[in-house]
A and B are shown apart, each in its own frame.
Chain A
Amino acid sequence: QSALTQPPSASGSPGQSVTISCTGTSSDVGLYNFVSWYQQYPGKAPKLMIYDVTKRPSGVPDRFSGSKSGNTASLIVSGLQAEDEADYYCSSFAGGNTIVFGGGTKLTVL
């Protein structure tokens, strides 16, 4: 069970769009449509932003969206705002009732 691969950092200017990738394998991301994305501020618990690849929980701005192609899932943040500066993590169901996380991406709003 290997961790999912995320870029360590990403950045964009206010109003721009940023895409964060999450690459797994044909045993996790590629096999199941159960990928979630979390936003985490320092010292806080992760907050669910996207689940089941594309779904948004109530209260999450529609600027946040998700997609998947093959073994790679993506989080797209449109219309970047200063408050979006945070760490973002992906997770995937990996079969056998196990879960695997990505290493995290630090999003900087320039």
Chain B
Amino acid sequence: QVQLQESGPGLLRPSETLSLICDVSGYSIGTAYQWSWIRQSPGRGLEWIGSVYRNTLIYYNPSLKSRVTISADASKNQFSLNLRYVTAADTAVYFCARTEWNPDFWGQGILVTVTS
């Protein structure tokens, strides 16, 4: 059974960089599937941030592309999210998920709050 677990700081100041890691067990991320970041905020519902495939092909939501970097480390079986210049609007629960055409297995999520 595939399991995903997000980790990282839960509190950020405006203009800082959000950095999260998703640890994957039960499946090797370099084998197949895309591996995605998704966030959920009260006012905006679920929002796909981006995905990484086979450790090197990376796809971003056009609305966030200028601030986002997603990468993968196959040796650690984990992938990461960096979101630069955060504002209060980036406050959300961030999920990582295995994705074929759509996400199937999800992590439990991590709340990230941006406040001054």
Chain A residues with a Cβ under 8 A of chain B: 1, 3, 32, 34-36, 44-48, 51-52, 57, 89, 91-93, 96-104
Contacts and interface: CB of A to CB of B under 8 A. Distances in A.
A1 B63 contact: yes
Contacts of B48: 91, 98-101
A32 B46 contact: no
B47 interface: yes
Nearest to A50: B102
Given A51-B101, A101-B47, 5 more contacts: A3-B45, A34-B102, A36-B104, A52-B101, A91-B48
B103 A99 contact: yes
Interface string B39-66: 0000001111001010001010111000
Contacts, number: 68
A57 B104 contact: yes
Given A89-B45, A97-B34, A45 B95 contact: yes
B71 interface: no
A98 B95 contact: no
B51 A97 contact: yes
B101 A45 contact: no
B46 A101 contact: yes
Which 4 pairs of residues, A with B, have the shortest CB-CB distance? Answer: A34-B101, A36-B102, A101-B46, A97-B59
A52 B36 CA distance: 18
Given A1-B62, A3-B45, A45-B95, A99 B102 contact: yes
Contacts of A93: 101-102
A93 B36 CA distance: 13
10 contacts: A32-B101, A35-B102, A44-B108, A46-B106, A91-B102, A97-B34, A99-B48, A101-B45, A102-B45, A104-B45
Nearest to B53: A97
Nearest to A1: B62
